[in-house]
Amino acid sequence: MAYNTKAIKTDVNAKPIPQYYNPTTDEYEALQGADGAARQVLYGPDGQPVATTEGKLAVRAEEIETLLTALKEKDFATQATLATVLERFQAVEAKIEAVRVLLDALAGEDFATQTTLAQILAKMIAAPATEAKQDSLATLVGAIEDKLDGVIDGTTGAARQVLYGPDGQPISVADNKLAVRAAEIEMAIANLQTALLDNQSTAAKQDALAGLIGALDAVAVSDPTAAGAVIALLKGLLSRLQTLEGKIDGITDGTAPAKTELTGSIATTISSPVTGIKTVTATAAEVFAGATRKANRRKLIIRNESTALRFRVGKSDVTQQNGFPVEPGATIIFEFDPKTAVPIYAISEGAALKVGVCEE
């Protein structure tokens, strides 16, 4: 039957009630509910109602619970455990790095091959050093030691030795003596002997030497152009020195003064002096004797011819106060280096006056 063939449910007032069509019973049935809401049935995508288990939605609850139970039973590592594991991994990594370095070093070594080691081993096995052999060797070494001791302390005499030179040949001997470059030594001695015999002091040589030196009683030779024996020439030189000494004594004690003329001194007049008069006024002006200052002058003499006035001298900035005063009738002398031109200025302290000037 279909739902449209059935009458819907009504309440006491003949009004339709909340209802639904139940195809199983082929009847409309009143909607049930609780807490103010109507009952609902959940359906899955396959059009079937979602299942429930023990009043709960069967949301694969079993599988989830199984998995949760399994997880709960697992012994998970804690954060502290993981940190410890990480630390150990790092230690292991450092050790691995050290091992890698060692392996690199070993890779660079020139190890003996297996073949080489086998050859050495075979040789040792073929001729091993036995105790008997070592005893024999010790006996022989002891005998050699005893002989060396005998040679050293002279109890058994010295063994014969043959000396060899750097060329690998035995050193030769002559008349049972070592040929220590005997030929060269003999040649040198012979040459020395010849030289001594050829240059020995003979009577003739001594006479010639005596003649050259002369005798103490030889007459002094003071003429430098004359020939003479050494003693005669020395006596002549001594005589001249004594004469010179006497003259020096005469100069120093004043009994025979030396006549000396000095040249090149500024005290010497070497050119004609220039003389003249100059009027000195209250205006400072240069002082010289001629029309201009004498070239290369050595000396400047200025005489104040006034009987009452004085003047002052100095350089170009001379004044009536700072100049050097020259009293009436006084004379002032300046000496110069001829190579340096030095102007001298004069200024009167009062009226104009005349001065006599001389330049050398």
Partner 1 sequence: MTYEIIKNIDGTTTLHMSFIDENVDLQGEISIKGGVEDATSYVPFFENDLRCNFADKFPAPEMPEGFEEGEMLE
Nearest distance from residue 275's CB to partner 1, in Å?
Answer: 8
Q: DSSP letter string over 281-321?
A: -SS-EE--SSSSPPTT--EEEEEE--SS--EEEESTT--TT
Please list the residues that pair with 57 across neighbouring strands: 52
- 133 burial via Cβ count (<10 Å: 0-12, 13-18, 19+): exposed
* Single-letter amino acid, residue 29: E
Among 283, 307, 321, 340, binds partner 1 (CB under 8 A): 283
Of the pair 135, 286, the CB lying nearest partner 1 is at 286
Among 51, 137, 144, 352, binds partner 1 (CB under 8 A): 352
Nearest distance from residue 324's CB to partner 1, in Å?
Answer: 15
Of the pair 310, 312, the CB lying nearest partner 1 is at 312
Nearest distance from residue 256's CB to partner 1, in Å?
Answer: 48
350 binds partner 1 (CB under 8 A): no
Nearest distance from residue 240's CB to partner 1, in Å?
Answer: 58
Phi-psi region of 14 (alpha: psi -120 to 50; beta: other; left: phi over 0): left
Among 24, 265, 317, 340, binds partner 1 (CB under 8 A): 317
294 binds partner 1 (CB under 8 A): no
345 binds partner 1 (CB under 8 A): yes
Task: State the first-to-last Cα distance of the chain, in angstroms, to the nearest integer.
Answer: 176
Residues 6+ positions from 269 with CB-CB distance below 8 Å = 360
341 binds partner 1 (CB under 8 A): no
User: How far apart are the C-alpha atoms of 358 and 140, rounded to whole Å?
Assistant: 125
316 binds partner 1 (CB under 8 A): yes
Among 94, 277, 330, 342, binds partner 1 (CB under 8 A): 277
Of the pair 239, 275, the CB lying nearest partner 1 is at 275
3-state helix, strand, coil in the chain (%, to 5): 35, 20, 45
Among 221, 231, 232, 289, binds partner 1 (CB under 8 A): 289
Size of the residue set binding partner 1 (CB under 8 A): 21
318 binds partner 1 (CB under 8 A): yes
User: How far apart are the C-alpha atoms of 217 and 129, rounded to whole Å?
Assistant: 103
- 237 burial via Cβ count (<10 Å: 0-12, 13-18, 19+): middle
Query: Angle of helix 203-213 relative to helix 230-253, nearest 10 degrees?
Result: 20
Among 286, 327, 335, 337, binds partner 1 (CB under 8 A): 286
Among 16, 142, 246, 290, binds partner 1 (CB under 8 A): 290
Place of tokens 């001249």: 240
- Binding segment for partner 1 among 44-52, 98-106, 274-282, 304-312 (CB under 8 A)? 274-282
Place of tokens 């050290």: 98
Nearest distance from residue 286's CB to partner 1, in Å?
Answer: 4
User: How far apart are the C-alpha atoms of 176 and 92, rounded to whole Å?
Assistant: 85
Among 61, 229, 234, 285, binds partner 1 (CB under 8 A): 285
Nearest distance from residue 301's CB to partner 1, in Å?
Answer: 15
Among 278, 297, 298, 312, binds partner 1 (CB under 8 A): 278
What is the number of H-type helices and E-type strands within the chain?
A: 7, 16
340 binds partner 1 (CB under 8 A): no
Among 298, 347, 359, 360, binds partner 1 (CB under 8 A): 347
- 311 burial via Cβ count (<10 Å: 0-12, 13-18, 19+): buried
Residues 6+ positions from 13 with CB-CB distance below 8 Å = none
Which residues contact partner 1 (rule: CB under 8 A)?
A: 276-279, 281, 283-286, 288-292, 316-318, 343, 345, 347, 352
